[in-house]
């Protein structure tokens, strides 16, 4: 799955999960991140507001998202 940034330099990790419908709420996104369920560029990411930029790859819940 691709996610294209339009007119933005970055998107926060918790916002991305919610925007793509991978979680139902922002609170759920935050909890999943701090529980170590999300990887960014093949490393577990614990920062809820991690800034994702073009080229970053997020893995969560069986989905792989490339930021473009």
Q: Quick check: helix, strand or coil at residue 58?
A: strand
Backbone angles phi, psi at 53, to 5 degrees: -125, 170
What is the tens place of the pLDDT at every residue in 7-26? Answer: 899 999 999 999 999 999 99
The correct CATH number of 2-67 out of 3.30.70.20, 3.30.70.580, 3.10.290.10, 3.90.650.10 is: 3.10.290.10
The residues of the chain scoring below 50 in pLDDT are none
Confidence (pLDDT) at 20: 96
Confidence (pLDDT) at 24: 97
Confidence (pLDDT) at 6: 79
Q: How far apart are CA 3 and CA 33, in angstroms?
A: 19
């Amino acid at each position: 799955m691709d996610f294209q940034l339009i007119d933005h330099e970055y998107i926060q990790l918790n916002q991305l999960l919610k925007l793509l419908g991978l979680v139902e709420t922002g609170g759920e996104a935050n909890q999943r991140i701090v529980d170590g369920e999300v990887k960014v560029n093949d490393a577990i990411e614990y920062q809820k507001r991690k800034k994702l930029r073009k080229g970053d790859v997020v893995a969560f819940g069986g989905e792989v998202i490339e930021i473009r």
